[in-house]
Each structure stands twice: as structure tokens, then as C-alpha cells.
Amino acid sequence: MQCNVCEFGCEINEYSKGRCGTYICTGDTIVQDPDIGYLGAYPVSIETIPLLHYYPSGKFLQVFGTGCNFQCSGCVARLLASGKSFNLSYLTPAQVIVKALQQECLGIVSTLNEPAANYYLFRDLAVQAKEKGLLIGCSTNCYFTDEILTNFGQLVDFVNVGIKGYSDKSYKTFGALSSAPVFRNISRLFEMGVHVETSVVYSRGNEDDIIKVAKAVSNISPAIPVQVMRFIPFGEAPIELEPSIGEAENLCTVLREHVNYVYLFNSPGTELLNTSCPECGSLLAEREFYGPMGSRLVKPWISYTCNCGNSVQVKGTTATKSFNEEGFMGGYRISRAFGMVHAVLTCLGILDDCKLMDIWGKISDTETLMQVHHMIQQPYSYLEFIRLIAEKANVPEKGEELVSFIHKRLEFVHNLAAENNNHKVYYCMGSPLFALNAGRMENNLVTFSGGMSINKQLQKEGKPGVNVSPSFINEHNPDTIFISGFLSRPLDEFYGLCQQYGIHTDAVKQQRVYAVPPSWDFGSPRWILGLMYIADKMHSGNSGIDLKKEADKLYLQFYGMPFEEATPNRSFHRPSSGIWPRYVMRCTHA
């Protein structure tokens, strides 16, 4: 039988569950695979989804399942999108509803995987949610058929539509045939009264296509927000596709000529998360970076109407109290936790997807994830994280091999630390004005190396950090500045911003600003290389550490390849984009 959920129209039979891998045929009816359910349900602030013009700061229950009809390079949830059947515990729609009510959420939002892959499951969830007075929505690529969209539009209150591009060529890259159904469906949903926001990924080279996206959205309504997601290369995607934050900000300026509200994500410190009046330019809502693809209101909305009389299209009242997620909870941070587990397993030689998901199932409860969140923030406690994952994977010997490798180098750096006790360091992410939280691993690496992290003076916390003023940096006058290896910025842009903001510390004057290599300071066991990198820079290259030699040892021992052959991207688990690993074990018990 032919599936009518999305435009692919897959044939579902005894041999095929479709592109999504989640549908089966029973008699003359296509139904959801009964083994499929929701893998997680966590309370979040709506801005972390992200939706910025819908019940600001509202508390929603985020859910996700498995399966997707698209095949996107650099997907942040590759295994969830794969549609494979894993031996995990699933939540039913009824159980999700109970959790939403217990957590006093305004509604439920489906993210991470595509709801078209779980359409009948999502339909049941939406019906039950509405019966209980809960709002319901999702993030979606919106490739539904016209027939299904009519029903879908009656189910949902809000959507964030991920647009892959304007041209048909951009959709063929992801396995689809045309962009037309997406823009047709956005228009239909908007006409049906569904609250619509859009997001589009900006990778270097697709600027013209994104401008055409903005024009197409504007033709539907210039009031529909356009969220620009600066491409962060995970998976096999090369790092050359990642535009700088400055390049992304320049593109957003162009897009604002066509739509009223343009926002920039994956770019710590940018001012383009704020809402300004499209008529007079007055600042109406101020936000800051709050984890992968998320934001947080710094100050609550006072009014949706500007002093000039122009009204901003925001639906729903602003929550009087902002909900702040703990640990890995909220938005796409759960995918980062997954990536960290994946990173350790890769070093332990476990490349089987099903084994990965099996171990994830053992540690993905809220209590264990909170425990993991604390473990990964300190060098020695990270060793316990390795032991935990190795134990769950039944490879304790391999775990001890990795622990021993890291411990030996910790002792070496510890012996150097006494020489750096007056060296002041500032650690930022992306922008000189976005400071990493005092308790994060990166700042603890500085302290472990004997440095004085000025970030430790910060009282306020966010995820993964907070905006600071130029005066904070100047007053503490760091000797060295490090830029995070997770979300970075080219040094020429960084120095340019320092000049623009009036940051004139010794680190800037003496050009002692360093961009840590990708995934060398957080998320992966490669942080041990980051620690040695930090210690060496604080010693002005006279630490006695041969970083190239140390990198070769780690890469050869735990990745089976020399460091010089690696072409790194932002992935936690992959040491190199492209062909690594040479021999990948696929799921053996799906």
C-alpha cells in the first residue's frame, strides 16, 4: 500500500516500513509500528525549541521519538532519525499527557525527530492533549501531503517549520524532490490560524538560496519569524561548510529587508536573538544564547506593542516566571548528552549503533543524566564518567585503558600548575562578550593548569554561559583569552569585535587570544589534548608538551588513525569528517 502521510508516498509492505522505518501494513491499512513510542519527555522553556513569538518563557513538555523522512547531512539526531527499532522503553501518548500535567506544562512539543514519521502516534497525542486543555505543536520539515495537512493543521496549535532551502536542488540533497510542498503547507497552516515560525540552516555557499527563502516566507506573511541556524558540522560534514558568526550576522541583515523578524542561532553573544520593532527599530525583547539552537529571555516582555504604536505578532501571554532547565534538559541539549556518551563509546571501540542505543537507554533517565552532567565538569570526575559508560557497555578493561591514558597526562599537567598561579584567563564562546559558566569543564581545565579563571567571578549562570560587559573583561584584565572549541569564531573577527567593544586587555594587546581546536575542550575525551593545549599556551609554548606527538598517540590508540590524517569538525564522537571510521559496525540486532 502507498503511504499518504508525506509527499514521498512510500510503498509499505512486508518488506518495507518506508523511508521513516516506522510504518507497517496490517491488512488493507497502514498503521504505526506498534513498537514505536516516545523515547523521552522533558520540561523545557519554549525558547529552547526554539519558538520566540509563542507564549514567551512558557513551560512545555518536549517529547521525541524515532524516524524521519529526510536524510540530512550533519543531523544532530542521526540515530533518532534513522527509524531503527531499538530495545528501549517507550512512552505512550497517555503517559506523556500524565507527565505534562504533573509538570504543570502549558503544552507538549515534539522535536528532534520528524513527526511525519510518527504521524498516527502524534495524532493520538494531539487529540488527548486537547482533551486535557494542553497546547500541542512540533518542529517539522512540513513535507506532508495536502490531504494529511488538512488534518494536521486541525491538530496543532503551533509549529516551527525547518526549511531546507528554496530551490528544488536544495531538497534533492536531502532526498526530497521539491521545495514546493513545504511552502504550500506553510501557507495553508498560516491561513488555518496555526502559529507558524520558520527555521533555515545557513551553510557557507547557500546565501542566495536563503534570501529566496526569506522572500518566499514574506510572500505568505512578513510577520512570520525566520530563524537562521548557523550550520555546525557534525557527522561527516566538513568544517569548511560552517560560516563564521560574522558572516551569518551579515546575511541576517540582508534578510531583514524582506521579513520583519530574523533571528540568529548557534551564535553565542550575537545581538540577533533580540526582537526589535520593524517600524522604528526599538528594542522590544532581549535574549541570550541558551544552548544548541536555543535562547532565553533576559528580560520579560512588558508589552507586545512598541511605543511607536506598532504591534508585534506574539501569540499567548508571557510567563511571569521563566522556567530554567537543569543539566542536559531542554531543547537540543539532550542530543549533546547523547553525543558525549557516543564519544566515550567510540574511544572504547564500540561502533555498533544498537549497542550505543542500548547503553543510552541505561543512562537516559533524568537522575542519571544529572549525575553525568556533574561528572563531565571536572578532569578527575570525568574519569568516573568513562568508567560508568565502560561498565554499562561491559568493557571495563577498555575503560581503564582510556582512564590510564588520560590520568598520566593529568599528572604531568598537575606538576606544571604551580608555575601558573598568577596567570589570569578568560574563557568565552563565539563572542568576547559571551562568558562560559564558572563551573564548566573549560574553566576547570584552566584552574587545573594553575591559571586564575576570571569567569569564576561570575554570579549569574546560563547554558552554557552568559553575556557580560566589556568592563567586566577590562577590569579583570586577563593575560590570555581562550575561545571555546565547540562554537568558535575566527580570530580576525574576534579581534575586530574587541576593538568595536573597547576591550583592551593585555591578552588582546599582546595577541594572546587562542581558538581551541574543535572538541578539544568539551564533549569528548579529546579534552585531555585541550588541557595540554591550554597549559602550553599559558607557558608561552615552553611547557615541554609536544602536542602533535600527544595527539598522534591518542588518535592512534583510540581512533585507529594518525592525527595528521584527521580533518576535524564539531562532532564529539568523530575525530575526523569524511571516511572515518574505515569499518563501521552497523546495527546487528534490530
The CATH code of the domain at 23-297 is 3.20.20.70
Q: What is the mean pLDDT of residues 79-93?
A: 67
Provide the pLDDT for residue 324. Answer: 77
Band (pLDDT 50/70/90 cuts) for residue 73 is low
pLDDT surpassing 90 at residue 221: yes
Which residue's entry shows cell 536524510?
71
pLDDT surpassing 70 at residue 330: no
Rounded-to-10 torsion of CA 79, 82, 87, 88: 60
Closest CA to 274 of 501, 470, 53, 502: 53
Which whole-number Å values give the CA distances from 152 to 148, 171, 240, 476, in the listed order?
6, 22, 38, 54
For residue 55, give the C-alpha cell: 507564549
- Start and end residues for every CATH 3.20.20.70 domain found in the chain: 23-297
Model confidence pLDDT, tens digit, residues 94-133: 999 999 999 999 999 999 889 999 999 999 999 999 999 9
pLDDT surpassing 90 at residue 545: yes
Q: What is the mean pLDDT of residues 63-71?
A: 88
Question: Does residue 233 or residue 386 have the better pLDDT?
Answer: 386
The DSSP-derived string for 528-546 is HHHHHHHHHHHTTT-S---
Q: Which residues contact 542 (CB under 8 A, 6 or more apart)?
A: none
pLDDT surpassing 80 at residue 88: no
Q: What is the mean pLDDT of residues 1-8?
A: 94
Phi, psi of 24 (to 5 degrees): -135, 165
From 35-39, 143-147, 157-161, 494-498, the region with the lowest mean pLDDT: 35-39
- Start and end residues for every CATH 3.40.50.1980 domain found in the chain: 420-565
Contact 550, 317 (CB under 8 A): no
Q: Which residues contact 342 (CB under 8 A, 6 or more apart)?
A: 356, 572, 573
Cα–Cα dist 581/356, whole Å: 15
The count of residues in the chain is 590
pLDDT surpassing 90 at residue 50: yes
Helix ranges (H only) for 326-425 are 333-347, 353-363, 366-375, 379-392, 396-416
Q: Is 61 helix (H, G, I), strand (E, B) or coil?
A: strand
Model confidence pLDDT, tens digit, residues 446-456: 999 999 999 99
Q: What is the mean pLDDT of residues 542-547?
A: 92
Model confidence pLDDT, tens digit, residues 280-297: 999 999 999 988 788 999
pLDDT surpassing 90 at residue 542: no
Band (pLDDT 50/70/90 cuts) for residue 342 is very high
For residue 104, give the C-alpha cell: 504543570
Q: Rounded to an integer, what is the distance from CA 344 to the centroid of its chain?
A: 19
Q: Which residues contact 14 (CB under 8 A, 6 or more apart)?
A: 25
pLDDT surpassing 80 at residue 10: yes
pLDDT surpassing 90 at residue 395: yes
Q: Is 264 left (phi over 0), alpha (psi -120 to 50) or beta?
A: beta
Q: What is the mean pLDDT of residues 59-87?
A: 73
| CA terminus-to-terminus distance, the chain | 23
Band (pLDDT 50/70/90 cuts) for residue 501 is very high
pLDDT surpassing 70 at residue 74: no
Question: Does residue 42 or residue 590 have the better pLDDT?
Answer: 42
- The pTM of the full predicted model, rounded to 2 decimals, is 0.92
The CATH code of the domain at 420-565 is 3.40.50.1980
